């Protein structure tokens, strides 16, 4: 009998597999990481930097964009200057600008110092071009600027040499005039321009829960109340339909969905106060925060013979529990062409087969979802996929046999049927000992 220790070792082995899978996947890729100003000044910041060191040593190219809002507020307050904002944009006059610049570089320096303590080579630079926001709706934004571009060539060189570039929230016009820019916008634009694999927004209490929000009808996955994933287009509509989002939440959702729709593979929102938040998000499948993805991430594709070991791994718990009939490598070698797999981040997380009987009937078989990915809608997606396939092939009746999962299939429209309703060939191979129930979905 497996002991608690055996279980712990097994869990660790599973975790190590997962970590290596992701570590290999991300080597040489670029991550742009925006860190909220509260977090940069927090006592836990060194532990975040330690985790960034791990990413850096794993061969990931990191660009850091620290927010300086808190520090700027402190400095302006100290010198008796007003603090004026419109949404997430600070409106700053000529008198405040030298202090803002000083505070922004002060924060960048603090980040550089922390990186140095982790033996990571880092650089602060003037790689950002900016232009004035100007006057909008009668409001003069004065020295607040928009990101006009980043020096991609130079950043590429800095990254290739193994440095971590740090971008303070200051940009310069073509004539050298400095502007205060939003670190959120800077991170998102840099991620797009630098073709980053991932863009992170890390803050001290950032969490998107399902409760209290209007969720778009599709493309949203929720686990234990947390929105774990949203399709980029769903994230855009989430930002527009939820007027209870605060300015920061709205802005990062808007920028994040834009970045995801413009080439950034994934955008992640994380509560940086959770120990190891960024490592959990990068190296484990379900992560810790909320992720924006494009359709490409969750993929259903026909199974290939090299998927056999992974498919058997996904099925194994259901086979051991007697829910699925025994399947081995020989069976899979004969049948894999009838299967489709659901792949997330390069690993198989679900499988299902459609086995034709004559031209009118087909059986849904071998449906299984990785237990760590249960209740995320993967089962439903695989079934919808095969419903479409069946439709395209003019199949009239989908059927399946199950001993324990009847409720699930009934909930999605299957109805219980009798043995006589199956095609004769399948009636002949029905195993009466197993006493499976028969379900049919007329199409």
Ligand X SMILES: CC(C)(COP(=O)(O)OP(=O)(O)OC[C@H]1O[C@@H](n2cnc3c(N)ncnc32)[C@H](O)[C@@H]1OP(=O)(O)O)[C@@H](O)C(=O)NCCC(=O)NCCS
Contact in structure between 35 and 202 (CB atoms under 8 Å): yes
Closest to ligand X by CB, 249 or 298:
298
Among 127, 259, 318, 395, interactor with ligand X by CB under 6 A: 318
* Token reading at 231: 């399709």
Residue number, nearest CB to ligand X? 379
Rg (CA), the chain: 26
> Among 7-15, 180-188, 281-289, 374-382, which window interacts with ligand X (CB under 6 A)?
374-382
Length of the chain: 443
d(CA 355, CA 375): 25
Q: Is 28 left (phi over 0), alpha (psi -120 to 50) or beta?
A: left
- Contact range with ligand X by CB under 6 A, out of 12-20, 70-78, 333-341, 403-411: 403-411
The C-alpha atoms of residue 78 and residue 82 are separated, in whole angstroms, by 10
Q: Indicate the pairing of strand 178-180 with strand 30-35.
A: unpaired
**According to CB under 6 A, which one of 55, 97, 270, 367 is a site residue for ligand X?**
367
Among 378, 390, 395, 440, binds ligand X (CB under 6 A): 378
Residue selected from 125, 276, 356, 377 as contacting ligand X according to rule CB under 6 A: 377
Instruction: Rank residues 151 and 436 by Cβ distance to ligand X and give the closer one.
Output: 436
Q: What would the DSSP string read from start to end of 163-212?
A: -EEE--SEEE-TT--EEE--HHHHHHHHHHHTT-SEEEEEETT---BSTT
Closest by Cα among 435, 282, 426, 302 to 345:
282
282 or 312, CB closer to ligand X?
Answer: 312
Does 369 bind ligand X (CB under 6 A)? Our answer is yes
- Contact stretch for ligand X (CB under 6 A) within 20-28, 109-117, 131-139, 401-409: 401-409
* Pairing assessment for the beta strands 437-442 and 397-402 based on DSSP bridges: antiparallel
Q: Is 323 in the site for ligand X (CB under 6 A)?
A: yes
Q: Tokens 């608690």 map to which residue?
A: 4
Q: Are 215 and 147 in contact (CB under 8 A)?
A: no
313 binds ligand X (CB under 6 A): no
CB of 408 to ligand X, least distance (A): 4
99 touches ligand X by CB under 6 A: no
Q: How far apart are CA 238 and CA 432, in angstroms?
A: 50
Stretch that binds ligand X, among 6-14, 36-44, 255-263, 375-383 (CB under 6 A): 375-383
Answer for which of 89, 143, 190, 402 binds ligand X (CB under 6 A) is 402
Q: What does the alpha-carbon distance between residue 45 and residue 114 come to, in Å, rounded to a whole number?
A: 9
Q: Under the criterion CB under 6 A, does residue 368 sit at the interface with ligand X?
A: yes
> Does the footprint of ligand X cover residue 219 (CB under 6 A)?
no
Contact segment (CB under 6 A) with ligand X among 129-137, 223-231, 399-407, 416-424 equals: 399-407
Scan residues 404-433 and list those touching ligand X (CB under 6 A): 405, 407-408, 411
The single residue among 69, 165, 272, 379 that binds ligand X, judged by CB under 6 A, is 379
Contact 326, 288 (CB under 8 A): no
| Minimum CB–partner distance for residue 328 and ligand X (Å) | 17
What is the total count of residues that contact ligand X (CB under 6 A)?
A: 19
DSSP string, 248-269: HHHHHHHHHHHHHHTT-SEEEE
| Residues at the site binding ligand X, with contacts judged by CB under 6 A | 318, 323-324, 367-369, 374-380, 400, 402, 405, 407-408, 411
């Amino acid at each position: 009998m497996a002991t608690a220790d055996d279980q712990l070792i097994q869990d660790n082995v599973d975790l190590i597999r997962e970590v290596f899978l992701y570590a290999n996947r991300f080597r040489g890729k670029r991550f742009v990481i925006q860190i909220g100003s509260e977090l940069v000044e927090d006592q836990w910041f060194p532990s975040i930097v330690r985790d960034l060191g791990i990413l850096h040593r794993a061969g990931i190219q990191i660009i850091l964009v620290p927010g300086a809002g808190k520090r700027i507020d402190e400095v302006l307050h100290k010198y008796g200057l007003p603090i004026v904002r419109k949404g997430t944009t600070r409106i700053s006059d000529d008198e405040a600008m030298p202090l803002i610049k000083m505070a922004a570089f002060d924060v960048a320096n603090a980040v550089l110092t922390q990186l140095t303590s982790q033996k990571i080579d880092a650089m602060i630079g003037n790689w950002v071009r900016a232009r004035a926001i100007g006057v909008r709706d009668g409001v003069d934004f004065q020295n607040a600027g928009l990101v006009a571009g980043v020096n991609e060539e130079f950043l590429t060189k800095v990254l290739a040499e193994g440095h971590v570039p740090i971008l303070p929230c200051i940009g310069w016009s073509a004539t050298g005039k400095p502007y205060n820019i939003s670190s959120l916008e800077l991170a998102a634009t840099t991620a797009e321009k630098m073709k980053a694999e991932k863009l992170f927004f890390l803050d001290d209490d950032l969490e998107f829960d399902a409760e209290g929000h209007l969720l778009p009808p599709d493309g949203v996955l929720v686990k234990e109340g947390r929105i774990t994933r949203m399709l980029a287009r769903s994230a855009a509509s989430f930002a527009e339909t939820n007027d209870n989002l605060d300015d920061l939440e709205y802005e990062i959702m808007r920028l994040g969905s834009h970045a995801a729709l413009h080439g950034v593979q994934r955008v992640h929102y994380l509560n940086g106060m959770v120990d190891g938040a960024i490592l959990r998000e990068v190296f484990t499948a379900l992560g810790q925060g909320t992720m924006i993805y494009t359709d490409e991430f969750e993929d259903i594709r026909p199974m290939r013979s090299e998927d056999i070991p992974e498919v058997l791994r996904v099925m194994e718990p259901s086979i051991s529990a007697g829910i699925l009939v025994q399947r081995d490598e020989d069976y899979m070698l004969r049948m894999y062409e009838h299967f489709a797999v659901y792949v997330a981040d390069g690993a198989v997380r679900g499988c299902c087969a459609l086995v034709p009987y004559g031209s009118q009937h087909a059986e849904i078989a071998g449906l299984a979802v990785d237990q760590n990915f249960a209740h995320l809608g993967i089962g439903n997606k695989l079934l919808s996929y095969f419903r479409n396939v069946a439709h395209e092939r003019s199949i009239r009746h989908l059927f399946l046999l199950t001993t324990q999962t009847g409720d699930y299939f009934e909930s999605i429209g299957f109805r219980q049927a009798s043995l006589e309703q199956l095609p004769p060939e399948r009636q002949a191979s029905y195993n009466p000992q197993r006493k499976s129930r028969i379900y049919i979905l007329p199409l």
